[in-house]
Amino acid sequence: QVQLVESGGGSVQTGGSLTLSCAASGLNSKYYSMGWFHQGTGRGREAVATIDSDGTTTYADSVKGRFTISKDNAKNTLYLQMNRLKPEDTAMYYCASAPIRGLTIGTMARGAADWGKGTLVTISS
């Protein structure tokens, strides 16, 4: 059974940085696509960044150049480094995994099989 547990959320000012972590169990991240999603108040869940089993990454246009997704296969942990944060980045952030290789920003939502419970990120202006 796959379990995903996010951590690292918090409250920072505009322009600040946060690093989110997602500890995964029950899967081998070498063979999964994984990703980060966010959901702001009154908005749907949107893909933010994905990373394939071979390390290929994709990003939503809104975070390109500011966010970096990475993973440590030995620790089965997914990360999201978020820099130059903006108030519009305020949201719950969720980790997701899929036992399918090659998923991207456009396909991760359909392929995701497991989700974490989320960690809240709040950016103040």
Average confidence score pLDDT of the chain: 95
Q: pLDDT tens-digit profile of 73-89?
A: 999 999 999 999 999 99
Residue 99 CA: distances (Å) to CA of 77, 113, 120: 15, 7, 26
Burial class (CB in 10 A: 0-12, 13-18, 19+), 57: middle
Cα dihedral sign for 49, 62, 68, 45? negative
pLDDT at 33: 95
Q: Average pLDDT, stretch 58-70?
A: 98
As a dihedral over the C-alpha atoms of residue 104, residue 105, residue 109, residue 114, rounded to 10 degrees, the angle is 60
Q: pLDDT tens-digit profile of 101-110?
A: 999 999 999 9
Residue 13 CA: distances (Å) to CA of 38, 68, 121: 18, 19, 11
Q: Average pLDDT, stretch 54-70?
A: 97
pLDDT category, 30, cuts 50, 70, 90?
confident
